[in-house]
């Protein structure tokens, strides 16, 4: 099965994607990971991507689509992909449908994690990360130790962009850009809304129920 997971920044897409990968033996396709891997390999396309990124520009849909096709066309990943962070716009959604059809595949389910702006603000502004082991705490939902450390001697830190203004902007950008994409999939009766404000275990249980039915 092929799955798409949607949700605003801070909704927990990464956590739930990792859960799905582990429990349903899927491959997580992240455009960010694909871009970084291409840059790392220093392929001709990777060098082009490096130049674009260094100039401050956005990588075009054309380049993203090339990278996406390399995964979809690989028999190792056939019908076992979870798309995280893609498609981001209607053009990409239509292209994804075309590519999947080309390789005799389709999207089986679109999971939308619904989280309010107020909760997103708390998740982002309350986030604290251990610089050594990368463990994440949250001042509101998963409080850190009283001494604000995780690993020995490592003081927990906030990211510079984890502030209210950035949280609101990310949320509004997500809502605006994904609305037509979700409408596209709703017309195919593929979208499953899920309360992303539940605890992690409850969300995982719901997702397991949805995907087990598809597998069966």
Q: What is the domain partition of the chain in residue ranges?
A: 3-116+173-215
pLDDT of the chain along its 216 residues, tens only? Answer: 999 999 998 888 888 998 999 999 999 998 888 998 999 999 999 999 999 988 878 888 889 999 999 999 999 999 999 998 889 889 999 999 999 999 999 999 999 999 999 999 998 889 888 888 888 888 888 888 888 888 877 889 888 778 888 889 889 988 888 999 999 999 999 999 999 999 889 999 999 998 988 876
Q: What number of CA atoms fall less than 13 Å from residue 215's CA on the CB side?
A: 12
This prediction's pTM: 0.83
| Pick from 179, 23, 26: nearest CA to 107 | 26
Burial of residue 178, with CB atoms counted within 10 A of its CB: 0-12 exposed, 13-18 middle, 19 or more buried: buried
Pick the CATH number of 3-116+173-215 from 1.10.10.410, 2.60.40.10, 3.30.450.40, 3.40.50.300: 3.40.50.300
Structure tokens at 146: 């009283």
Calpha distance 22→7 (Å, rounded) = 20
Structure tokens at 143: 């409080």
């Amino acid at each position: 099965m092929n799955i798409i997971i949607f949700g605003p920044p801070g909704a927990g897409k990464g956590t739930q994607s990792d859960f799905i990968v582990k429990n349903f033996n899927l491959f997580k396709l992240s455009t960010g990971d694909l871009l970084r891997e291409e840059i790392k390999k220093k392929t001709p396309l990777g060098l082009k991507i490096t130049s674009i990124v260094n100039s401050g520009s956005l990588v075009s849909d054309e380049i993203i689509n090339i990278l996406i096709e390399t995964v979809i066309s690989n028999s190792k990943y056939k019908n076992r992909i979870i798309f995280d962070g893609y498609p981001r716009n209607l053009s990409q959604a239509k292209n994804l449908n075309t590519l999947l059809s080309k390789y005799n595949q389709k999207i089986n389910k679109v999971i939308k994690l619904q989280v309010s702006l107020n909760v997103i603000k708390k998740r982002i502004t309350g986030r604290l990360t251990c610089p050594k082991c990368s463990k994440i705490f949250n001042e509101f939902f998963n409080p850190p130790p009283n001494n604000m450390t995780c690993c020995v001697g490592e003081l927990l830190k906030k990211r510079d962009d984890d502030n209210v203004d950035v949280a609101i902007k990310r949320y509004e950008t997500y809502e605006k850009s994904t609305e037509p994409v979700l409408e596209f999939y709703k017309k195919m009766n593929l979208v499953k809304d899920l309360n992303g404000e539940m605890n992690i275990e409850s969300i995982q249980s719901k997702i397991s129920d949805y995907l087990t039915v598809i597998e069966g």
